[in-house]
Structure 1
Amino acid sequence: MATIVMERLGRMFISLQQIKEVPRMLTEAAPSMPGTVRDTDVPHFFRERYICSGYRPLNQGWRYYFLSLFQRHNETINVWSHLLAFLIFLVKLGQLTETVDFVADRHSWPLLVVILSSLIYSAISVTAHLLGGKSELCHYTFFFLDYIGVAQYQYGSALGHFYYAVDESLHRRVRGVFMPLAAVLSCLSCLGCCCGKYCNYSLPNWVRKLGQVIPAVLAYLWDSSPVTNRLLSWSAASDDPAMIYHFGQVALFLCCAFFFSFPVQERYFPGRCDFIGQSHQVFHVFVSCCTLCQIHATHLDFVGRRTLYAKLHGSDDAVLFVGQYVLTLAVCTLIAVFILSKVKQKLDLENKSK
């Protein structure tokens, strides 16, 4: 028995060693790819605190940045974590289409918005982390898109919670204001993130971080209030299968907020987390797991609470809420485009002054 166990452990160790060699093998397979550089070799704007190496050189061809998906650099894990999440969400959508009529059943439309908004934010995040290192303008452009993706996901989360998770008493108190306020908070979150990125040079890091975190926290507290209300009244004897997933998404979001706000690992081990172990990478993993828990919980509520939400929401409510989602997405896009125009003006002035 001991021999069998040792053999299996040996095979596992060999497999882990082979996995660790993948980035090096891929780099050697594409010798024309430029190597990564240190933080001192890229403009200050691109430097992340406590990340000393693994930066991709600027102003390379688009092919280089696309192929860097298979290169070892300090954004590799950020790209792959959300790429894998996107594929998982896509598989989940395919599974749901086998049992849910997303065309004829209007009550299923909020569930569809939850999944589509998850797919959108993860896909845009992959694009931003993969291509945002090409130039300063590209960095602004792709990360502004990322902020749009986050904002529309916030609205999608609010819609799923309000439509399926809300109880009758809370619905009666907030039904006229919940979704409009969720839309406003999503737009404010997008505005705060875009302004924080735009003021990258002129404001201290903690001020920019507050501008990004506070609107997102306010949006989350409001958007998740139906779930919080249910969790506070939840007893261990309850047989509601969705509650464990709701609890999971709340716990995972708190982990997300911590690792997004505090770069713990790289601060105490500068230079050792350049490839793997960064707080933002941990944040990506937690937010992906949080989203997956949310999708599971929303689907279980869709199946198990139909009598309640069909009574609370009229036949046209889903159409109205989906329309508000589209409007929120459009407003966030206009915000990002407006601030991006300011960015272009600033960059043009800098280029002329050189």
Structure 2
Amino acid sequence: MLSLKLPRLLSIHQVPKGYREQGILFGYRPPSSSAADCILSIFQMTNETLNIWTHFVPAWPCPPLASLLPCCISPLASSCAHTFSTMSTRARHICYFFDYAALSMYSLGSALAYSAYVFPADWVNSTFHHCYVPIAVFNTVVSTSLSCYSR
């Protein structure tokens, strides 16, 4: 019979400070986990399990509008970030950089959809309408940059 060995979970005092979350005392996955351990841990009750599944499941609907693609990518990127963040310190930062970028892309996708489909008719072709998308792109770049820098 196939038997899978789930990764051992750690307490807050057993993980480096960079991995600790305020208020979370137990359920940490070991730093430097392998990709296989990270995938196995999504079926285990860790301090990330709820984040992983609540971001992974909504990523799979197929919305009819391409402008809603960021709505699917954002939770998928977040789920992957929470799943693979314990592989190494570098992987943790890279995972969350992608998570932040996906959140910013979600914001940009929402701005594009708003501009294309529901922008008030009186404002279409106004100066504000012409500046709206470039400002949204600028906001995406700045938000992602600042989020990654703060990490």
Same fold, TM-score > 0.5, yes or no: yes
Distance 1:42 1:78 in 2: 19
Distance 1:192 1:143 in 2: 13
More helix as a share of residues: 1
Aligned to 2:140: 186
Distance 1:76 1:33 in 2: 13
Match for residue 102 of structure 2 among 149, 152, 158 = 149
- The answer on 1:127 being equivalent to 2:80 is yes
Q: CA deviation at 1:60?
A: 2.7
Point out where structure 1 has 5 or more consecutive residues left out of the alignment.
1-28, 97-110, 198-354
Q: Deviations over 1:120-177 (max 9, x none)?
A: 1111111100001121101001110111111111110001111111112222241221
Q: CA deviation at 1:34?
A: 2.6
Aligned to 1:72: 45
Distance 1:72 1:143 in 2: 21
Point out where structure 2 has 5 or more consecutive residues left out of the alignment.
none
Distance 2:83 2:33 in 1: 13
For 2:75, give the aligned amino acid. S
Q: How does 1:190-339 map to 2 (within 5 A)?
A: 190-197=144-151
- The answer on 1:42 being equivalent to 2:15 is yes
Q: Secondary structure at the match of 1:49?
A: coil
Q: Secondary structure at the match of 1:177?
A: helix
Q: CA deviation at 1:74?
A: 0.5
Runs of 4+ deviating beyond 6 Å? none
Task: State, as a whole percentage, how many aligned pairs show the same letter.
Answer: 27
Q: Deviations over 1:322-342 (max 9, x none)?
A: xxxxxxxxxxxxxxxxxxxxx
Question: Does the 8 Å contact 2:48/2:82 carry over to 1?
Answer: yes
Aligned to 2:120: 167
For 1:36, give the aligned amino acid. L
Match for residue 118 of structure 1 among 61, 71, 77 = 71
Alignment length (residue pairs): 148
- Bigger relative contact order (CA 8 A; separation at least 6): 1
Aligned to 2:93: 140
For 2:84, give the aligned amino acid. L
Question: Does the 8 Å contact 2:112/2:133 carry over to 1?
Answer: yes
Distance 1:130 1:34 in 2: 13
Question: Does the 8 Å contact 2:32/2:89 carry over to 1?
Answer: no
Distance 2:127 2:106 in 1: 24
Aligned to 1:61: 34
